[in-house]
Amino acid sequence: MGRMANSGNRAPAGPQADKGVTGTSPVTALERLRQFTTVVADTGDFHGLQTFRPQDATTNPSLILKAVQKPEYAGLMHEVQARYPQAPLDELADRLLVAFGQKILDIIPGRVSTEVDARLSFSTDATVARAERLMDYYAQAGIGPDRVLLKIAATWEGIEAARRLERAGIHCNLTLLFGFAQAVACADAGVTLISPFVGRILDWYRAHEGRDFTVEEDPGVLSVRRIYTYYKRFGYPCEVMGASFRSTAQILALAGCDLLTISPALLAELDAQEVPVARKLDPDVARQAQIERLSLDEPAFRFDLNEDAMATEKLAEGIRAFVADARTLDGLLARKV
């Protein structure tokens, strides 16, 4: 199965003068952002998706855990439990993730990202097997591979799993990405999309330097700009999707990024703002950058990642957090209906 192109119903490639806005309605920052970037909703709350009309949606164990603890979503979990009463917990969890994915895909026109269990982050074979099972469940529901991205932690083992999955026509979203070495390895592995975590990078630098940063010196923003420039300069088809935002200022500082996945709270803020939005990332400009192309084998990847204290710490912390929420979700699924 071929990779989805950045065309058709994807985001426009360049600025447009408020196309699609009619009458005298105010043009919000969210609408202006759509001129440059594909807007993605970062949520498991499918009931709220229609409000902001995202192209794609992303989920993770933390978002699903938060959703199933709400009364309006408990029924979906109980439905999965009742339908598969003899299934082991890992199968129940995957079927619940796919059930949420199905509901989301009923609403959005694009793709949903579904997380592979973070407990498998250091096993290539186990990650591949779990990813293939998730895609089997989607296939049973009549959903093809072009509508699903499987989220995998950007460890060396995860990236190698994604390499194998992409060759088999299963598209991947490499997540928990904090360091440039991770981005380079993902591009060389031929993954469909990466999710650099802007806000968590900023969190680390705030804590370690004891100060705040303007948006133009924000380490998370600068990280995504660097990756975007590298990918466009060397013609990598891998899409860049900024994630984990702390403010609308961070989001607007990345206008022009291929995709941005945004929480409902920040989508609402953008939808309430009537401010100009300028393109900050431009593929034509990026292609002129004078930068060096890198090549990382496993030892070089591990060394470069180890040299980046922020990326090393945040990757480990992120995996632990997702694992903790996955275990809590297992506990809920283990209860009798």
Length of the chain: 337
CB 64 within 8 A of CB 44: yes
Q: Which is catalytic among the residues 19, 66, 70, 151?
A: 151
Torsion of CA 170, 42, 49, 67, to 10 degrees: 100
CB 31 within 8 A of CB 21: yes
Q: How far apart are CA 35 and CA 17, in angstroms?
A: 8
First to last CA, the chain: 39
Angle (nearest 5°) at CA 328 between 326 and 331:
115
The amino acid sitting at 161 is A
Q: How many helices (H) and strands (E) does the chain have?
A: 15, 8
Query: What does the DSSP 8-state code read for residue 63?
Result: H
202 is written with which tokens? 């900023």
116 is written with which tokens? 């592979």
The amino acid sitting at 313 is E
Q: Specify the pairing of strand 172-177 against strand 112-115.
A: unpaired
Q: How far apart are CA 54 and CA 264, in angstroms?
A: 10
Which residue, chain included where needed, has tokens 């941005």? 260
Active site residue 151: yes
Torsion of CA 149, 55, 323, 188, to 10 degrees: 40
328 is written with which tokens? 């809590």
Neighbouring CB atoms inside 10 A of 192's CB total: 21
**Residues assigned a catalytic role:** 151
